[in-house]
Structure formats: C-alpha cells, structure tokens
Structure 1
Amino acid sequence: ADDMSGCGRCSTHCSHSDVSQMGVNYSLYTKIDIENVQCLNEVSEGSGKLVFKPWEDRLHLDKYVESDADEELLFNVPFTGNVKLKGMIVIGGEDGSHPSSVKLYKNRPQMTFDETSTTPDQEFELTQDHDGTYEYTIKTVKFSSVTNLSIYFPNNFGSDSTKVYYIGLKGEFTPVGLLINKNLFSNNKLF
C-alpha cells in the first residue's frame, strides 16, 4: 500500500509531490500530438489543447478550458508513440469549478460522451488542487502501450461549469519506430 501520511482528504490514489523533479517527470506533454487533441463540450474551440503545457507554466491562468453546456469535459489525447502512463496532476478552477472526479480510458480514439457510460480503465476522486501538489497514481499495468488517452471529467465541486488549467501526465515514452525486435540484429552479424 502507498504511504499517504499527511495526505489529508487525498485517498490512496495520490501523494504530495517532490516539486524539484516535477518539470522533468511531467514532460509527456511534448509527446502529445497536440494538433489532434479533441476536447468535447469546451466553450472556446481549441482551448482544451492549452491545458497540456510545461510544468513551469501550470500556474499561468490565462490558458484554460471551460465546459459549455454542463460540467462535463471529455479529452481525446493522441500520443506520437507508445506511452506507459504512471501519474497525473490536475489543476482546476476556483468556486466549485474544479473537477471532482476523473475516468481514464486507454486507446479509444474519437471517444464520445455516449461511450463514457462504459467501465473506465481507471477512475478516482479528485482533490481541489490549485497549484499542482496532488499527484494521482496511474495503474501502469493497465496503462502500458497507450497511443490514445481519453480523460473524462463527469462532474465538479458544485459549479455550473468546469474549469481546468493544467493536466500533467507522467510516464515513459517509446517512439513507434524504435519498437523493433532486437533479435533481428543479433542474428545477422557482419564479418
């Protein structure tokens, strides 16, 4: 079991993070095919792409996404290779607009709200986090070889709309071209 001492309302899915390593650990945003990120139910078209940014810019509140018709937001995030996802940080809005839970789905590109009723690969309750101190642990057994991640925020802490300023993703990245059988080369020695 994870040591959650001092974690408050945080539950067993998150931990307080060592801030000095965060910029290095949360660099998967560079491996996202950002032009093809979709965010369903966003007020301003294309604003969902803005929340995948460097750790150092996580507190820049000028770039965010806000839900439109209700509090739901659904992101379809394609990667440029294969990812083994290990952690996630969510910075949300004030006044009840921070997402209160998240459901994650692996390799379901173009996912729609109709599909969110299916069982997610992982889900957890979120703590209101306005500076990126809560890190949620992803089950790497379920989230290895991820080429597309769907992130669904079904609700928030009481506001009519949901605001997200930052989504940080931590994990290991493998470019598609490097997934080659190593035995192929060891058997073909050149003399």
Structure 2
Amino acid sequence: MAHHCHDGHHDHDHADSDEMGIQYNLFEKIDKENLECLNESIEGAGKTVFKPWDKRLDRVNFVESDADEELLFNIPFTGNVKLKGIRIASEDTDSHPAKLRLYKNRPNMTFDDISIEPDQVFELQKDSEGVLEYAPKVVTFSSVSHLSMHFPSNFGAESTKIYYIGLKGEWTPGHRHGVTICTYEARPNLDDHKLKHLDSVTKQID
C-alpha cells in the first residue's frame, strides 16, 4: 500500500516536471553561437549550463570560474524575451554563487563594465536542485534581447561552480531588425518578379 502511494506521488512529480520543462524552455531561444561566459576555466563550459529542465541535475556539464570566483554570462536571445523566472543549480558547497546581478540589453559586457548599476540584484541561497525561483521585475525585463548575468561572489570558495541556469518567460521573434527586414523584403520581391515573368510568358503563348 505504501508503495502504491509512493507511485502516485512519483506521477505527480513527473507531471510537475513536464510542466516545468515547458516553462523553462528559453534555453532554446538563446543564440548559442554568440553566448559567452567570461572567466570560465574551460572554454565553452558556460554554454553547457543552459540545458533542458530534465537535465538540471546532470553533473557532467558545468562551468567553474577560473582566476577568481566571478563569472559573467553574455546571453543573446534570438528574439525578444519577457523574462519571468530564473533558477540556478550549483552544489551544496561554498562554490555555490551567493549573488546574481542582472543587466538587460547590454551586449558584450566585460568585467570593466560591471561597475555599472545592475537592473536587478538577487541574493542567492544554496540550491543543488534548482528548486528556488528568482523573479525578475516584470516591468524591467519585459523586452530583453540580451541578458547579462554577473555572479560576483560565492560562499567563500576559491572558485564558483554552476551546473544549471534555467530561464522562464515568453519569447517573441525579432530584434535583429536589419536581418529581419532584409529577409522579408527579399521574399515578396522575388515572388512579384516571378509572377510578372509568368504573366508575360502566358501572354506570349496567347
């Protein structure tokens, strides 16, 4: 009987997990080619922490800071994002980041730029499973094409480790106006040209 109850509970968790997976899907809308993590000890490791919700407990891929405990992520999106939630999973040690500073729409930030006042700051608690959700200010983060996440400190270790960063929100296409407009203009013009050409062919046959 007890086992049966446990199964029921497990199903419930699974349903919640599916729902979280749907909510925490903004990693799909990150321009991974141009995502960068500064002060990562292994090049490219920072990109691996933006992964599906069901991979949040994966301990194979993680990022660790190099020279000191700071990490700075520059995260370009493939459109505009209304950011509604952030989850971070690290380990239950002093390597867990202790603070998160958010900047919106400031591409290519470096450690020289972090003296600028952030748009929001979160004091983080140790969380090895990504259960805590941090809520960005809706008004501030309603149209984000680029998000910078600065982790300035941890709980006292020499380096900071992060296993998972989850982002929840709504995505709408297009902030690269130049590219978008060119693409849309090119298509109708091509079609018009083809149609005119077909018309003239038809008339000649008549």
Deviation, structure 1 residue 19: 4.6
Which 5+ residue runs of structure 1 have no aligned equivalent?
1-17, 180-191
* Residue of structure 1 in register with 2:123 after alignment: 125
- Give me the whole-angstrom Cα distance separating, in 2, the residues matched to 1:139 and 1:110: 22
- Give me the whole-angstrom Cα distance separating, in 2, the residues matched to 1:158 and 1:138: 26
Match for residue 49 of structure 1 among 34, 47, 50: 47
Give the number of the structure with larger relative contact order, counting CA–CA contacts within 8 Å between residues 6 or more apart. Answer: 1
* Residue of structure 1 in register with 2:75 after alignment: 77
Deviation, structure 1 residue 20: 5.1
Match for residue 27 of structure 1 among 25, 28, 31: 25
Q: Which amino acid aligns with 2:153?
A: N
Alignment of 1:1-191 (within 5 A): 19=17, 21-176=19-174
- Give me the whole-angstrom Cα distance separating, in 1, the residues matched to 2:17 and 2:94: 25
- Give me the whole-angstrom Cα distance separating, in 1, the residues matched to 2:19 and 2:152: 30
**Count, aligned residues:** 162
Rg: which structure is higher? 2
Structure 1 residues 70-127: Cα deviation after superposition (integer angstroms, max 9, x where no partner): 0000000000000010100001134200100000000000001111111100001001
SS of alignment partner, residue 42 of structure 1: coil
* Residue of structure 2 in register with 1:7 after alignment: none
Does the 8 Å contact 1:93/1:162 carry over to 2? no
Q: Which one has the bigger helix percentage?
A: 2
Which 5+ residue runs of structure 2 have no aligned equivalent?
1-15, 178-206
SS of alignment partner, residue 163 of structure 2: strand
Q: TM-score, normalised by structure 1?
A: 0.82
- Give me the whole-angstrom Cα distance separating, in 1, the residues matched to 2:132 and 2:17: 11
RMSD: 1.6
How many percent of aligned residue pairs carry the same amino acid? 60
Return structure 1 stretches of 4+ with deviation > 4 angstroms.
none
Q: Which one has the bigger strand percentage?
A: 1
Does the 8 Å contact 2:36/2:74 carry over to 1? yes
SS of alignment partner, residue 30 of structure 1: helix
